[in-house]
Structure 1
């Protein structure tokens, strides 16, 4: 038997607590007394209720509304919660003495929902203990970094029925879960003023009819949702239809729902503003739990306190600057200023010599090239720097900034400093080529000719370069910070190493796409005079080698299924043009004595 929503409210209330009076039923269900009276009469007439208790027929009628399971999504990076999310997933934070996901699991259990699936991805191993502790099922989302949470639901689409859909990092002051639910809904709270949340419009019977991102004086989506079986069947089909499409990868599951809102019936479930808590920032969480930081077991915050000599309670205005699977960076402030914390990504210890990086950073600080550097731990790879307020990246086409960049390079190269790391465009390019060929042939017909030219040119450059010097090796505009007062710092020294002095010139010219006229002026600034013919040939040769090397990198990325966009052509063009031109210039030089 299909129950109306009011009939369900009466039957469900009496299932939980028999012998309620009609006034008590009104209080429990939130329905008006007249509505309760009418619904109770209907339940009696249809044999669902007799003398204030459910009949066998009433109990049977309630069974189709029993909750089957819950899906807790815990795969995401929680990038807005940096730097704490660098150490552990957000759902495993302890708030007011309880781990967020554990509190939610207990609340589901209290409502009689025992079948719980947790979809994990980022730092997935941190969640495995939940299987033993709560007998949940773990499902692994391997695409947590490149697809949005619709991927998590697609992975469990065959498990969807009468299902709660939850986020691992929500905190419910009151348990919102129930043993039986009438139909699909999305939880919502009221915003009296403007909000950037997803705001809802509703029609008859509180069905959600529209969703807008941002609004004011509106009910907005927050917290959990509930799918009934009809909703789950159709939504599982939609997940299958949309899966694998590039335009779908970045969509939240809620966006897929909105895209099909006309065929998916879902109501609004309204909650008081103190019931559901979603913490989008550390500041929000500390407002809810003032002792959160003091009780937080965090190596990152211990590092900050040790280096800056501040208290944990001083740390505020924390937000991510850069998030990915390599290095992760966040901004934070203390009473003494604004700072950047750099946390190494997984596997970077295999790619970056942190001891060499630290030595280069200390040299750059001494030379006044990078005044932002404060401290690096070379064993663990974390770093603290000053945050430059209002900084912009260097404009290589601004003559003054171009001159400063070249003067920076000269000061670095003449510093006499050394590190243990060596860097060569030729060796890097060969490594990229080997890795690409392991995945299949290189389709570009021009590659063989470019490789032959690189072989010949590298031999000339090695014979011509003299002793290697300390180079930045990632020397281009995005790694320069130009302060509002015009002062400039060169940051990000991960690839610094002993190299041909012209390496930095080569990278700069390729990445900034300088014209030959701009290249000549840049080299004049570097030397403080006109370059000789040999110097011009040599530096133009490293422009060609840089283009060839980074084009090899782009070919590898393409072989791995990644698209670097227009940069592939930019690198190819620089390599193709300047390998050949440098060889011609070298051939035209007089023999050395």
Structure 2
């Protein structure tokens, strides 16, 4: 195996036969004396003759030849909302070039033709690269449920002398080479404080420590190179630890850092500006000021049309916390701050957007949701005002819950109506039928519970309770309180004409109210102690709400989404209050 000095000399002569020792020293950073000594050693070993590599010299370089490249392109790129709702970040056009295409072309320019792109989110958008560049496409179907270690796991058998890249990097100079001495992580220098992954090195620039955050430090940025030794051991570690629960959320770099003593990797520094990663839309616009004006984005076209602004005015774009059914981002213009909401995948099966639109207009008229500006009732996207420094009510604070209940009563007594209806029992049956299309429901005890829900529905129908406009997703996370203590009831996706108790049932389930809190909230709704009949009827709707959202959660999970603890919360309230309500009805 060559030492680094001999590799440097041989690689320089491979590129340009007859290169002077002085030029090699200048380009490599080695001293002229070191280059002279290395040159003599390679000549003596028969690797160089008359300033040109011999066949033995080419053979000596062979173990350092780059074999392939892996470009990771599976991620959601959520920090680039809302553009990432339409296309993956790696397909954005920056300074007139598609990011991943520019990177592929730089790899090809360096003679690296075996290129694999690992895809996941909107994977079909990348398929054309196969025809255009001859790259390999590998699907990572775990891109939502785990971090980027899943992408390298999919191609672990391809790892050798391999470049590992991200699809969204922009290199102003081509960093790729056909021959590389050993494994390295590219780095850039941060003057002052930084929150990046800072590198400490030892002898011969070997990375000995990596920490998040530091000052006046080199930090990880850009592409990485694995040599065969590194790849072999890393693949073993990846296979060994992949199924450990703690591995799921780790970056592949976390695994490297966990085993940094046995994984030999050096740091390769680059001047500022060569490697560019964009963590936000504003960062990208600083690099390419005309990006937003030139971007092909229906979302930004919608925003400019509705608000009457230009794309150049839009700034401070960043994602907000995503709900189970929607994707939302913040943005600002010269006139204020706003929220753009994008419908989640598959929500067309769960949400009637025309009904939502009608309810939103009514809510605005009633002063219950002054944030609403515009919604497209066919496609489901929406623009609202952003409530600055908003907070949400505490459902376990009796005073705040009483205020929520008064808002609920105001909605129900408004006389407002929409054309559509929303019924928890019917919705649960619809979700059940959608589940059955995917296969039998063989959850233990499911059909016994479903039969009891059928019994409960007969009692509820016999109550002949009034129907009115209901929110049907009425709980504290759908309230905003502004700095003037004004309450806004938002997110009207499930609104419709319903039994008045729907909203109370949802509130109790989704706010996870305890039995004494349930009774206090019900009394607050009526402004007096509830009667036994009213209490029984509303308990029944806690059961129906829990059951309906339980079925909804099962369907979301069956579609590949992760609902988490809510699956059990819905189940628990559904079954507990099913028992209570049936017992009360039977007493009467």
Classify the TM-score, shorter chain: over 0.9
| Structure 1 Cα separation of the partners of residues 566 and 94 of structure 2 | 45
Q: How far does the alpha carbon of each residue in 1:93-138 deviate from its partner, in whole angstroms, 9 at most, with x for none? A: 1111111111111111111111111111111111111111111111
**How far apart are residue 548 of structure 1 and its match?**
3.4
The answer to whether the 8 Å contact 1:325/1:346 transfers is no
Residue 71 of structure 1 aligns to a residue in which SS? strand
The answer to whether the 8 Å contact 2:326/2:341 transfers is yes
| Structure 2 Cα separation of the partners of residues 557 and 546 of structure 1 | 16
Alignment of structure 1 residues 562-581 onto 2, 5 Å? 566-581=565-580
| Structure 1 Cα separation of the partners of residues 103 and 66 of structure 2 | 16
Structure 1 counterpart of 2:520: 521
Structure 2 counterpart of 1:222: 221
Structure 2 counterpart of 1:108: 107
Structure 1 counterpart of 2:151: 152
Alignment of structure 1 residues 367-382 onto 2, 5 Å? 367-382=366-381
Residue 161 of structure 1 aligns to a residue in which SS? coil
Alignment of structure 1 residues 453-468 onto 2, 5 Å? 453-468=452-467
Structure 2 counterpart of 1:427: 426
| Structure 1 Cα separation of the partners of residues 544 and 162 of structure 2 | 57
Structure 2 counterpart of 1:172: 171
Structure 2 counterpart of 1:132: 131
| Structure 1 Cα separation of the partners of residues 285 and 586 of structure 2 | 68
Structure 2 counterpart of 1:271: 270
Structure 2 counterpart of 1:413: 412
Structure 2 counterpart of 1:316: 315
TM-score in terms of structure 1 length: 0.94
Structure 2 counterpart of 1:441: 442
Ranges in structure 1 where 5+ consecutive residues have no aligned partner: none
Structure 2 counterpart of 1:505: 504
| Structure 2 Cα separation of the partners of residues 555 and 149 of structure 1 | 27
Residue 393 of structure 1 aligns to a residue in which SS? coil
Residue 505 of structure 2 aligns to a residue in which SS? helix
The answer to whether the 8 Å contact 1:198/1:221 transfers is yes
**How far apart are residue 323 of structure 1 and its match?**
4.0
The reply on whether 1:163 has 2:156 as its aligned counterpart is: no
**How far apart are residue 321 of structure 1 and its match?**
0.6
The reply on whether 1:239 has 2:238 as its aligned counterpart is: yes
- Higher mean C-alpha deviation, range 316-325 or range 565-574: 565-574
Alignment of structure 1 residues 11-410 onto 2, 5 Å? 11-323=10-322, 326-410=325-409
| Structure 2 Cα separation of the partners of residues 170 and 58 of structure 1 | 34
Q: How far does the alpha carbon of each residue in 1:479-528 deviate from its partner, in whole angstroms, 9 at most, with x for none? A: 11112221111111111122111010011112223344433332333233
| Structure 2 Cα separation of the partners of residues 512 and 298 of structure 1 | 38
**How far apart are residue 44 of structure 1 and its match?**
1.5
| Structure 2 Cα separation of the partners of residues 66 and 571 of structure 1 | 57
| Structure 2 Cα separation of the partners of residues 557 and 305 of structure 1 | 33
Structure 2 counterpart of 1:485: 484
**How far apart are residue 246 of structure 1 and its match?**
2.4
Residue 494 of structure 1 aligns to a residue in which SS? coil
| Structure 1 Cα separation of the partners of residues 571 and 114 of structure 2 | 55
TM-score in terms of structure 2 length: 0.95
Q: How far does the alpha carbon of each residue in 1:516-542 deviate from its partner, in whole angstroms, 9 at most, with x for none? A: 443333233323333333222211221
The answer to whether the 8 Å contact 2:539/2:577 transfers is yes
Q: How far does the alpha carbon of each residue in 1:326-356 deviate from its partner, in whole angstroms, 9 at most, with x for none? A: 4211011111111110011222212211100
The answer to whether the 8 Å contact 1:74/1:118 transfers is yes
**How far apart are residue 296 of structure 1 and its match?**
1.1
The answer to whether the 8 Å contact 1:78/1:85 transfers is yes
| Structure 2 Cα separation of the partners of residues 451 and 57 of structure 1 | 77
| Structure 1 Cα separation of the partners of residues 155 and 504 of structure 2 | 52
| Structure 2 Cα separation of the partners of residues 226 and 432 of structure 1 | 49
Is the alpha carbon distance of 1:571 and 1:109 closer, same or farther for their aligned partners in structure 2, counting shifts above 3 Å?
closer
Is the alpha carbon distance of 1:275 and 1:441 closer, same or farther for their aligned partners in structure 2, counting shifts above 3 Å?
same
| Structure 1 Cα separation of the partners of residues 510 and 349 of structure 2 | 25
**How far apart are residue 564 of structure 1 and its match?**
5.4
Is the alpha carbon distance of 1:428 and 1:485 closer, same or farther for their aligned partners in structure 2, counting shifts above 3 Å?
same
Is the alpha carbon distance of 1:236 and 1:176 closer, same or farther for their aligned partners in structure 2, counting shifts above 3 Å?
same
| Structure 2 Cα separation of the partners of residues 338 and 235 of structure 1 | 46
**How far apart are residue 566 of structure 1 and its match?**
5.0
| Structure 1 Cα separation of the partners of residues 101 and 451 of structure 2 | 61
The answer to whether the 8 Å contact 2:324/2:563 transfers is no
**How far apart are residue 322 of structure 1 and its match?**
2.9
Is the alpha carbon distance of 1:306 and 1:565 closer, same or farther for their aligned partners in structure 2, counting shifts above 3 Å?
closer
- Higher mean C-alpha deviation, range 67-76 or range 530-539: 530-539
Residue 322 of structure 1 aligns to a residue in which SS? coil
Q: How far does the alpha carbon of each residue in 1:231-263 deviate from its partner, in whole angstroms, 9 at most, with x for none? A: 111222222222233221211111111112121
| Structure 1 Cα separation of the partners of residues 281 and 293 of structure 2 | 13
Is the alpha carbon distance of 1:564 and 1:330 closer, same or farther for their aligned partners in structure 2, counting shifts above 3 Å?
closer
- Higher mean C-alpha deviation, range 422-431 or range 340-349: 422-431
| Structure 1 Cα separation of the partners of residues 192 and 287 of structure 2 | 20
| Structure 1 Cα separation of the partners of residues 398 and 502 of structure 2 | 21
Residue 493 of structure 1 aligns to a residue in which SS? coil
| Structure 1 Cα separation of the partners of residues 245 and 418 of structure 2 | 44
